[in-house]
Structure 1
């Protein structure tokens, strides 16, 4: 497969006035993309080595051009969450001795007219992202260009993904969240148009659907939580988004009910349920979901068809291969639990989210998945209640949807043992989300106190 930078350069030379990147009201044409990135890359290389830190909201299209410039320069980029206080952003950047790139400097580089040969060291880092470990403390993960190209080679073999990326790929994830790697680089590699949803659009249904309609979206890359928010509105339909051919869902568990609604709403759409940690370059397994699969827990891949080798060690998913970040020397124990059934791989929760309650080891994800398989449940989260010493004293189920809490509890009692039945229940209109579109458990705990 042609290398990423070589392919982007060729696309820039041949695709002319087609938009390459769009965000908000801004766009950059393919004919301008490579020269702009080259101009900044030349300045970055002349300025030294090491990471380049930047922070930009999704409505500013200069950010992904700066990413490309860093790849050309051979310097890893470090996208920081713009929701963090500026002092905290600077602190994280300083911890990696990263050079800070301001928008004004980036724009000056774009227009400099300079050029530089693209970096050729595939083992060099392409980007660094901060992710939270089991302690919640941010930890940096460096992904090499070889890792990134390994992901692309695999992703382009998935049904419908490569073809839909040639059209308009719409991304929901913030730049500081590695899910954004999928939509951005698949689009750049395939010569499509990449559209990133702004925070304003994600928080305003009419604006969101206007953007999807105007963009001519053919590929949507999003978390399951964001998909559920879209599906809650009748406006998310083929009438408004007629070209949608593929949905790539990753980042958290995809409930069968949400998958079923999507396939019912968009009958000809390919829905890919993907799995992968930041440490293994965005995603490493995926499987097309059929309507028939939605009667039970959804698989996250097929055995032997991932971007890397996947095995289970005492129930833990362990990855080995080219997509695994250099720091782990090709092998990464994910901390995720899994199991194999009929050739499919399933996710079964986190090792660090197992709790000890009433003498039993309990996986909260099992209770959540059971609830989400029931009619009237859009989303379910189970929270442990702890005393001052940290001992679990009870479970609280928080449900988003129209189901009766009493009836849900009775249904759960018919399917799970008593130790797994929450004693307290709460209904919320919407499960709160983090900036990355995942469940914000800390905020949810505060809401129900």
Structure 2
């Protein structure tokens, strides 16, 4: 399944739920070899969304999510959005003072986390909801009846703070819709191979939303990368080959590391599209050698959307040996 997103199709959550109805038993999430189907992902998100509404969460509220990487984080993202609230991702590895600033500055209504992260979270007097992968069955499997307004706040992410205090960037559903539509239109029609996309980016960067939504809205498989493999190019290379990943968003520095790893130990990769962002891209000989081993690969050099609330890109197709440096 691979359909373009159109303005007439309405809210992105409606689109996701349409995919669930269309391919309920298809694999949505692949995490360490364990698979979660679209139907089960949707049910878990709906039940957690009802828990959030029971705690008073509603439209325009900000819910901080601190769960690390894995299926629970994707479930929580969908649940927050289904509850009508805005999603604020928190990395549990960040210093407590930075987490405290983000929680306070964003006007957080509730923190959704796991008990393992609670001791290090500076939540103050905010309510905290602990979540594991088994949301109680007493909650409805259908989504809460809350408005879905594309002008409403969808998420808040923070800059790195390298030039001072980290700044929150708030985006509406309308903004997210256009960014996702841009990405899908750039990718074009479905390929012969099923879409498999790693979720590699930090959840604190909105590139992660591109990975998640451009995959789930097309009925693809989201390959969740464990934190340890985000810093292990050899292990990551093996996983990409084993799971036959077809599209990947990553920074140029990681592409460089993958090129070095593959030069030492060639593996067969199925990648047909690479989306690079976050740093300046240099197509040195090592990277060109990797790209030349990927028949028909398309490389997209992107900028945004955090920095500008929109994205721009340069598309490279054809023989990688002819691409500019």
Range into which the TM-score falls when normalised by the shorter chain: 0.7 to 0.9
Equivalenced residue count is: 294
8 Å CA contact 2:237–2:262 kept in 1: the answer is no
Change (3 A) 1:110 1:63: farther
Structure 1 residue 39 and structure 2 residue 47: aligned?
A: yes
Change (3 A) 1:143 1:109: farther
Change (3 A) 1:135 1:162: farther
- Number of the residue aligned with 1:267: 295
- Number of the residue aligned with 2:88: 78
Structure 1 residue 197 and structure 2 residue 225: aligned?
A: yes
Q: Deviations over 1:336-395 (max 9, x none)?
A: xxxxxxxxxxxxxxxxxxxxxxxxxxxxxxxxxxxxxxxxxxxxxxxxxxxxxxxxxxxx
Structure 1 residue 61 and structure 2 residue 71: aligned?
A: yes
Which of 86, 103, 109 is 1:93 aligned to?
Answer: 103
- Number of the residue aligned with 1:52: 63
Within 5 Å, which residues of 2 pair with 1:246-395?
246-257=273-284, 260-281=288-309, 283-290=311-318, 291=320, 294-296=323-325
Q: What CA distance in whole angstroms lies between the structure 1 residues aligned with 2:114 and 2:255? A: 31
Q: What CA distance in whole angstroms lies between the structure 1 residues aligned with 2:222 and 2:264? A: 19
Unaligned runs of 5+ in 1: 297-449
8 Å CA contact 2:246–2:271 kept in 1: the answer is yes
8 Å CA contact 2:233–2:257 kept in 1: the answer is no
Q: What SS does the aligned partner of 2:185 have? A: coil
The Cα of 1:175 is off from its aligned counterpart by 0.5
- Number of the residue aligned with 1:407: none
Q: What CA distance in whole angstroms lies between the structure 1 residues aligned with 2:106 and 2:47? A: 25
- Number of the residue aligned with 1:113: 139
Higher RCO, 1 or 2 (CA under 8 Å, sep at least 6)? 2
8 Å CA contact 1:52–1:100 kept in 2: the answer is yes
Q: Looking at secondary structure, tell me which structure has more strand per residue.
A: 1
Q: What CA distance in whole angstroms lies between the structure 1 residues aligned with 2:136 and 2:170? A: 26
Q: Deviations over 1:48-77 (max 9, x none)?
A: 34111112322x211011111111111011
Q: Select the structure of larger CA radius of gyration.
A: 1
Moved more, 120-129 or 47-56: 47-56
- Number of the residue aligned with 1:186: 214
8 Å CA contact 2:25–2:38 kept in 1: the answer is yes
Which of 246, 250, 257 is 1:222 aligned to?
Answer: 250
TM-score by length of 1: 0.60
Q: What CA distance in whole angstroms lies between the structure 2 residues aligned with 1:110 and 1:161? A: 39
Q: What CA distance in whole angstroms lies between the structure 2 residues aligned with 1:140 and 1:112? A: 36
Which of 6, 17, 25 is 2:25 aligned to?
Answer: 17
- Number of the residue aligned with 2:158: 130
The Cα of 1:219 is off from its aligned counterpart by 0.7
The Cα of 1:201 is off from its aligned counterpart by 1.4
Structure 1 vs Structure 2 CA RMSD: 2.7
TM-score by length of 2: 0.81
Q: What CA distance in whole angstroms lies between the structure 2 residues aligned with 1:165 and 1:276? A: 28
- Number of the residue aligned with 2:199: 171
Change (3 A) 1:125 1:164: farther
Give the ranges of 4+ consecutive aligned residues of structure 1 lying more than 6 Å apart after TM superposition: 235-238
Q: What CA distance in whole angstroms lies between the structure 2 residues aligned with 1:10 and 1:44? A: 23
8 Å CA contact 1:127–1:142 kept in 2: the answer is yes
Change (3 A) 1:172 1:229: same
The Cα of 1:86 is off from its aligned counterpart by 4.0
Q: What SS does the aligned partner of 2:261 have? A: coil
- Number of the residue aligned with 1:140: 168
Q: What CA distance in whole angstroms lies between the structure 2 residues aligned with 1:166 and 1:151? A: 22
Which of 32, 35, 38 is 1:30 aligned to?
Answer: 38
8 Å CA contact 2:272–2:297 kept in 1: the answer is yes
The Cα of 1:83 is off from its aligned counterpart by 2.0
Unaligned runs of 5+ in 2: 1-5, 116-129
The Cα of 1:88 is off from its aligned counterpart by 3.6
8 Å CA contact 1:237–1:266 kept in 2: the answer is no
Structure 1 residue 153 and structure 2 residue 161: aligned?
A: no
Q: What SS does the aligned partner of 2:236 have? A: helix
Q: What SS does the aligned partner of 1:64 have? A: helix
Q: What CA distance in whole angstroms lies between the structure 1 residues aligned with 2:27 and 2:66? A: 23
